[in-house]
Amino acid sequence: MIPVLALADLEAGRRATLDQLHDALRDHAIVHVDARAELGPEFFPSLHEQTRAFFALPEEAKQALDIDKSPNYRGYVAQGAEYTNGVPDLKESFEFGKETAAPEGEEQPWHAGLYGPNQWPDASVLPRFRPVVEAYSAAMDRIALATLRALLLTLDQPADSDHAVTSGELCSYSRLIRYRDPAGFGAGDSRLERHTDSGLLTVSLQEQRGLEAEAADGRWVPVEPPTDVFSVFGGELMEVWTHGYYRACPHRVHNSALRTERLSYASFFLPDLRRPLVPADRASSPRLSGPVAVPAGNSWLAGGRELSTTAPVGELEWARMNVIFPGRNNDGPDTENGEGQ
């Protein structure tokens, strides 16, 4: 059973909540976070309404925001444009991030690619879309930071020290996702194939169920929190940072209960792009000094290489981003993406 933790209890660092967080991340690599009290009753209806209104725009209005028109991977992604494990995803999405400027100083290619503006729909057509999406983004920041700080406490890391995962400016990319109801969809098909997300953690919200997570014992567990409750799960950088103690959560979107349109939301968090990610000191916690190891499938360590502890995370992420989208490079459609839920 994946527990539901109250955001207030995470932020307060309650011992019982920290224990629940630890056990959930160890067993399932996923936990539910309830922020309904903090976000208020209008938050979720407004988000769904504006997301649905965006995807209902005429195709040409969406194509005007095509992600290929953005130098920093932000905008509209049409159905069939992305693949996971070689299979085209049955979704369309709107992708955005924080609109921060690149840091001053030496020019780096990833500065231009990972910072910068979003592509927004015409405000005269959808006047509430941008403020609603920006409020959603701020809420995701709060939930991610609260979870990360609580997670640090479960590993005996002092809350005020200079951590690789929470110091500086947390980076995030987000997606509003619409899964259409496709004709000819087979009973064994999935809408998004099994994968792990690459960042520290992912905060997701499902309007309709369908997400499944692979537990530590290999069972597929439906991710079915109460309505309007978020799911937070570990990514591959978390796995690297904790030496595999908190693993990345394999997940997929399965079709068995899905015969309708489905909206979902996902925000992917990375540490400060300007800093390297140095794995936690194993001597700093008994939990990290045990016999744990990063699984072989971790994409940051593919081919047996080690994560650079000197290169900024942004530089590593930029290299990774350049193999995500088929057609934008020479890697073809066999690239892995899976940044949906």
Residues that bind Fe ion (CB under 5 A): 197, 338
Least separation in angstroms between residue 237's CB and Fe ion is 14
Nearest CB to Fe ion, comparing residues 129 and 233: 233
Nearest CB to Fe ion, comparing residues 197 and 212: 197
Nearest CB to Fe ion, comparing residues 158 and 333: 333
Least separation in angstroms between residue 122's CB and Fe ion is 30
Query: Which amino acid, one-letter code, is at 160?
Result: D
Using CA atoms, how far residue 116 sits from 17, 181, 215, 312, in Å, is 37, 34, 37, 18
Least separation in angstroms between residue 251's CB and Fe ion is 6
Nearest CB to Fe ion, comparing residues 111 and 209: 209
Nearest CB to Fe ion, comparing residues 234 and 338: 338
Alpha-carbon distance 268 to 340, whole Å? 10
Alpha-carbon distance 11 to 6, whole Å? 9
C-alpha torsion 97→305→103→134, nearest 10:
10
Q: Which residue of the chain is nearest Fe ion when measured via CB?
A: 197
Nearest CB to Fe ion, comparing residues 95 and 197: 197
Pick from 145, 139, 141: which is nearest to 40 by CA? Answer: 139
Q: Is the distance from CB of 154 to CB of 24 less than 8 angstroms? A: no
Q: Is the distance from CB of 136 to CB of 265 less than 8 angstroms? A: yes
Pick from 93, 44, 96, 95: which is nearest to 229 by CA? Answer: 44
For residue 290, the tally of other CB atoms under 10 A from its CB is: 10
Least separation in angstroms between residue 198's CB and Fe ion is 9
Token pair 């629940």 in the structure block, residue:
20
Least separation in angstroms between residue 24's CB and Fe ion is 18
Least separation in angstroms between residue 269's CB and Fe ion is 13
